[in-house]
Structures are given as structure tokens and as C-alpha cells.
Amino acid sequence: MHPWKTDLFVTPSTPIHLHDSVATFGSCFADVIGNYLTTNKFNVLNNPFGTVYNPISIHRILQMIGRKEMPDEIDFVESQGTFFNYQFHSSFYGSSQEALKEKIYTQIKLAHECLKSCQVVILTYGTAFVYRRKDNQQIVANCHKMPSSLFAKELISAEMIVNSALETIALLKELNPKVRVVTTVSPVRHTKDTLPLNSVSKSILRLCTHELQKSGVDYFPAYEVMMDDLRDYRFYKSDRIHPTEEAESYIIEKFGEQYFDSTTKNLLVEWNSIRQSMQHKPFQPNSSVHQTFLRKTVERLERIRHSLAVEDEIKAIKSQLL
């Protein structure tokens, strides 16, 4: 117990192992989790359709992947000579509608194969506010800077989110009966909604994840770690919206406490020690001291190569040996 804060103690869940395949979907905090797992040699499909904040759009993407369906023609939009799709992040674009379709279909096929065999799907919800097109009443994942007059902003209900989630999870289970779903609420604050309405939005999301736990869905308390454990502006970047790298690392440490067993934790401690040492830039690469360091590093990597995919690192270091 720290004298200046309240510790949040997570309850260990069914472990996520290094050999497990993991897919992340959702807000930018899904990227944080995915990047961490990728850095630590997990097999990860990290937010394959880019950042998506609202649960309905996250679920719709998963349903398209599960059914190998393309978005409707009406979802494609052109802006300043570039083509986008209302169901995906703006990182998905093309010089033509056909080029964008090909890019989307390629990613859908890749993600479909991943979902057929992966052990864990992590969903990170960012906001309960959505933007709905006025012409067809469809909720969009991204407005792509189109005129605001085309959309109506709406706060969706917990019931709508839960029903959409259960339908999506049922589809995932049909595709892959062994898959496990983990939800989390993003600790990133949506202050453009105003602070009071951000609280309302996050409350709806938290209620949804609580209800989903009754159906066997896991929950990781990233939001609570940020709000109640860290609970200090020094853990926010200068925008007072996004957690600092230090805060992200702390939240991820809690993720490890909840989902990694002792074997995985020990391996990751060793791997991160090696990884940090490899970032050292020598002044004299050919010196006997550095050459000894390289040989010892190779030995350390050899000891974990059967548990972690470090073949590229071994090859790279051996190429530096005289």
C-alpha cells in the first residue's frame, strides 16, 4: 500500500500464454496493448482496421470479418481525390474505390483466418457516443472530416451495446469455439464531449462490460487503474487526455498480473533485460569488450529461443561478431 495512492489489485484470470494467438480491436488503447504484446513476442493481430472508438462499429467490423463480408457500397466516400469507408479508420484509404475495396478485402481475409484459430480477442471500448448518418441512419466508425451537417451525434444505450456484443461474440464462438473475449474500457478521456458527458459515456461502457461478464466475458480494469489507482495529472500527457508512457506501462504491468503466469512473467523479465541491453550503441564495435558482450547476449538469447521467437535477434547479433 502506497501512502499517496490507492492500489488496485487485479484478480488473476485464465492465463494468456506466449504461444497464444491474440487479436485486438477498438480504441487507441487497443493499440497500446497490441504493441506491448508484439514487442514481447506474442503472436498478435493488432487493431487490423485501425482505431475505432464506439462499440457498435467495433462489433460491425468483427461481424464483417467473421462472415467475410464487404461493407455496403454506400459506405464508400470520396474526399479530395481519396477514397475512404465510413466503417473503418482513415488509415484505410485508396486512390480509387476499387483499390480501397481490394485493401479492405485482403485485410478481412487475413483477420478471418486469425479469428478462426486465435485464443484471445481483446476489445477496447472508447466512447458510447456515436455519429449517425442522416441519410440512412447508419452509425459510422469515422466521419473522415466530411461536413458535420451529414451526421447526428447520439449517446447510445447500454442495452444496445450489450445486445450487439452478444450477437458478435456468438458469431465469434461459432467461427472459433475456443476463443476467449476480453473487454476493457479505454482510460483515454474524451474531453470534447465535455467532462460530465465523458463520465456518462464511460459509465455506460463500464456497465456494458459488467453485464458481459455475466456471459463469461473477461474484463481488464484499465479505466479503473487510470482513474482510481494512478489518479493524478502527472500521469497524463500535456493534452490532459492521454496517459503518459509511464502510466501506460503501469497499466500494462497490471495486465500482466492478471493474465500472465509465473513462467511467462519470468521469460518476459529476461527478454526485456536482453532487449534493453541490445539498444546499447557501442563507441568501438570491434573492441574485445563489446565482442564479449555480443557473445554473452547470443548465449542469453539461445537460452530462451525455444520459448520466444528471437531468431532474428540472434542472426543480427551474430552478424556483428568478428
Cα separation of 214 and 6, whole Å?
27
Contact 22, 2 (CB under 8 A): no
1 has pLDDT over 80: no
Domain boundaries defined on the chain? 21-260, 261-322
Question: How big is the chain, counted in residues?
Answer: 322
132 has pLDDT over 60: yes
Q: Which CATH number fits domain 21-260: 3.90.1010.10, 1.10.1060.10, 3.40.50.10950, 3.40.50.1110?
A: 3.40.50.1110
Contact 69, 101 (CB under 8 A): no
Contact 261, 19 (CB under 8 A): no
220 has pLDDT over 80: yes
**249-308 pLDDT, tens per residue?**
999 999 999 999 999 999 999 999 999 988 888 888 889 999 999 999 999 999 999 999
Record the pTM.
Answer: 0.92
pLDDT of residue 175: 96
Cα separation of 184 and 30, whole Å?
9
3 has pLDDT over 60: no
**18-42 pLDDT, tens per residue?**
999 999 999 999 999 999 999 999 9
The neighbouring-strand residues paired with 204 are none
